[in-house]
């Protein structure tokens, strides 16, 4: 990078007279280098990078058009504006040079004031172009940082809401975190196997995994006496528990009304409303059947039930991993999407590893 405030101009012409004339016109304002051939000038680019090149069209060995081709083919020099100096005065020649990337034409013999003014204008344009590029870079960086900040805010909202739900029942440990990991495992496995491609490919996986933590957000509306009851629920109490799916969707939809960009919550609403639907239509709240149930809800159904089985709850002891996978397997075609159960069975050891990683009270595999 040049530290000299003066702009640097390369003058390329096989005529010494033309070179001296140009130098006399420009050297009081600019740092000028003269070259009698295009080859000499191209070699000089390894040491000095000019701000502008005045280039003769008609030269022996390597003409101006060939020199321009070399300049534009090299990413290091492709940005340098090139003004042709030519005795030619026809539109075809001008069009050829401009089409190849030349900036302008000055016909010889030239007027010194005109030469200076044209050089000044093109250097100004080049300077403004560089400033615009830098401004765009700064703008892109500002936008990127702002997007990151917004994403962090969204993540914080999702995590805070999930932690709020988690705090209602201290015995479930890291349920929402584990279920998010189970969902990640199943989604990754489905994609590896090419299953449900049309439904999975459009998803923003990062938001899917984060918003899956809100599947039980509706439990905020359930009384502690029911949520933490140490024994079996009555029919009426279970009916109250079932309302958490719709209440969760309502909470999420209310938040969506109050934010400009609610796209990060669209998966959360799906998880909340559909994770208790069952493949055979016996689930709640809408008794959806088969693929009427959103895929994310069908995935969460397996994740949620498995975690409930292997962890201790106020009303039950933790089952063994083996018992849990047997129950999930028996639920294929009834409670669960049979295709998803097949994938779960192939990945069940990863589920057990997730439970162990978060130190949930998982019983022995025996």
Condensed to tens digits (0 to 9), the pLDDT of residues 102-131 reads 888 888 777 888 888 889 888 888 888 878
> Is the pLDDT assigned to residue 21 strictly greater than 70?
yes
DSSP letter at 316?
Answer: B
Of 272, 267, 293, 271, nearest in space to 282 by CA:
293
Q: What residues are paired with 10 via a beta bridge?
A: 33, 53
Tens of pLDDT, residue by residue over 149-164, are: 666 666 666 666 666 6
CA 100 to chain centre: 36
Q: What is the pLDDT of residue 362?
A: 41
pLDDT of 53 over the 80 cut: yes
Spatial distance between the Cα atoms of 33 and 295, rounded to a whole number of angstroms: 69
Question: Whole-prediction pTM value?
Answer: 0.59
pLDDT at 365: 35
Helix (H) / strand (E) containing 107: strand 104-107
Query: How far is CA 170 from each of CA 7, 227, 305, rounded to the nearest angstrom?
Result: 71, 11, 18
**Residue carrying the six token digits 């003769």:** 56
CA distance 170 to 161: 15
How far is residue 320's CA from residue 8's CA, in Å, rounded to a whole number?
78
Cβ-count burial of 140 within 10 angstroms (0-12 exposed, 13-18 middle, 19+ buried)?
exposed
Cα 177 to Cα 27, 53, 211, distances in angstroms:
70, 62, 11
With beta carbons less than 8 A apart as the criterion, state whether 268 and 287 touch: no
Dist CA 358 CA 353 (whole Å): 9
pLDDT bin (cut points 50, 70, 90) of residue 324 is very high
Q: Is the pLDDT score of 3 beyond 70?
A: no
What are φ and ψ of residue 229, in 5° steps? Answer: -60, 130
Higher per-residue confidence, 89 vs 201: 201
Q: Rounded to 5 degrees, what angle do the CA atoms 294, 249, 178 make? A: 70
Q: Is the pLDDT of residue 88 over 80?
A: no
pLDDT at 338 over 60: yes
**Side-chain half-sphere CA neighbours of 203 within 13 A:** 25
Question: What are the DSSP calls for 116-173, one per residue?
Answer: HHHHHHHHHHHHHHHHHHHHHHHHHHHHHHHHHHHHHHHHHHHHHHHHHHHTT-GGG-
Q: Give the Cα-Cα-Cα angle 160, 316, 236 (nearest 5 degrees).
A: 80
Cβ proximity of 102 and 82 under 8 Å? yes
Residue in this structure with the two tokens 């340098």, named with its chain if needed: 80
Residue 318 · residue 362 · CB < 8 Å = yes
Contact 262, 303 (CB under 8 A): no
Q: How confident is the model at residue 11 (pLDDT cuts 50, 70, 90)?
A: very high
């Amino acid at each position: 990078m040049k530290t000299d405030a003066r702009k640097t101009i390369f003058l390329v012409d096989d005529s010494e007279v033309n070179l001296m004339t140009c130098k006399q016109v420009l050297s009081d304002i600019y740092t000028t280098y003269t070259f009698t051939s295009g080859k000499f000038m191209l070699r000089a680019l390894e040491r000095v990078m000019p701000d502008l090149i005045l280039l003769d069209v008609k030269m022996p060995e390597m003409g101006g058009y060939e020199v321009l081709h070399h300049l534009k083919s090299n990413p290091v020099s492709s940005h340098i504006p090139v003004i042709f100096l030519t005795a030619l005065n026809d539109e075809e020649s001008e069009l050829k040079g401009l089409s190849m990337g030349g900036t302008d034409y000055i016909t010889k013999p030239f007027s010194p004031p005109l030469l200076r003014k044209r050089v000044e204008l093109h250097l100004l344009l080049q300077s403004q172009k560089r400033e615009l590029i830098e401004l765009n870079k700064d703008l892109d960086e500002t936008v990127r940082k702002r997007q990151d900040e917004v994403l962090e805010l969204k993540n914080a909202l999702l995590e805070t809401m999930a932690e709020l739900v988690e705090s209602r029942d201290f015995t479930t440990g890291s349920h929402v975190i584990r279920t998010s990991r189970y969902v990640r495992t199943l989604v990754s496995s489905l994609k590896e196997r090419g299953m449900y491609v049309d439904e999975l490919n459009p998803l923003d996986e990062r938001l899917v995994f984060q918003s899956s933590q809100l599947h039980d957000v509706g439990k905020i509306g359930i009384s502690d006496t029911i949520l933490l009851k140490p024994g079996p629920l009555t029919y009426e109490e279970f009916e109250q528990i079932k309302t958490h799916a719709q209440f969760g969707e309502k909470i999420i939809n209310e938040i969506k009304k109050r934010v400009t960009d609610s796209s990060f919550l669209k998966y959360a609403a799906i998880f909340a409303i559909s994770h208790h639907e069952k493949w055979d239509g016996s689930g709640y709240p809408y008794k959806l059947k088969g693929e009427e149930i959103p895929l994310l809800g069908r995935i969460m159904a397996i994740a949620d039930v498995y975690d409930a089985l292997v962890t201790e709850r106020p009303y039950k002891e933790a089952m063994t991993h083996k018992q849990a996978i047997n129950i999930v397997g028996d639920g294929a075609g009834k409670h669960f999407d049979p295709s998803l159960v097949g994938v779960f069975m192939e990945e069940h050891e990863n589920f057990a590893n997730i439970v162990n990683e978060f130190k949930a009270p998982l019983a022995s595999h025996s």
